Amino acid sequence: QSALTQPPSASGSPGQSVTISCTGTSSDVGTYNSVSWYQQHPGKAPKLMIYDVSKRPSGVPDRFSGSKSGNTASLTVSGLQAEDEADYYCSSYAGSNNLVFGGGTKMTVL
- Site of interaction with another protein (CB under 8 A): 2, 34, 36, 38, 40, 44-48, 51-52, 57, 89, 91, 93, 97-104
Q: Which is nearer to another protein, 30 or 103 (CB)?
A: 103
Report, in Å, the least distance between residue 13 CB and another protein: 26
Report, in Å, the least distance between residue 41 CB and another protein: 12
Report, in Å, the least distance between residue 27 CB and another protein: 12
Q: Is 35 exposed, middle or buried (0-12, 13-18, 19+ CB in 10 A)?
A: buried
